[in-house]
Amino acid sequence: MVLYFLTILPIFPNNWFFENLSGVNLYIMEGEVWRLITPTFMHSGFSHMLFNSFSLILFGPALERMLGSAKFLVIYLFSGLIANVATLLFEPLTYTHVGSSGAIFGLFGYYIAIIIFRKTMMSQQNSQVILILCAVSLIMTFLQPNINVSAHLFGLLGGFLMGSIPYFNKKDLSDSIQTTTSWARSQKRNVSFQSPIKMLIWSTIIILVILGLWR
Residues acting as catalytic residues: 101, 152
* Residue among 47, 211, 55 nearest 130 (CA): 55
d(CA 179, CA 107): 22
d(CA 41, CA 22): 9
Compute how many other C-beta atoms are within 10 angstroms of the C-beta atom of residue 74. Answer: 13
- CA dihedral in degrees (120, 122, 124, 129; nearest 10)? -150
What is the Cα gyration radius of the chain?
Answer: 18
Residue 96 host element (H or E):
strand 96-97
Secondary structure letter of residue 32 according to DSSP: -
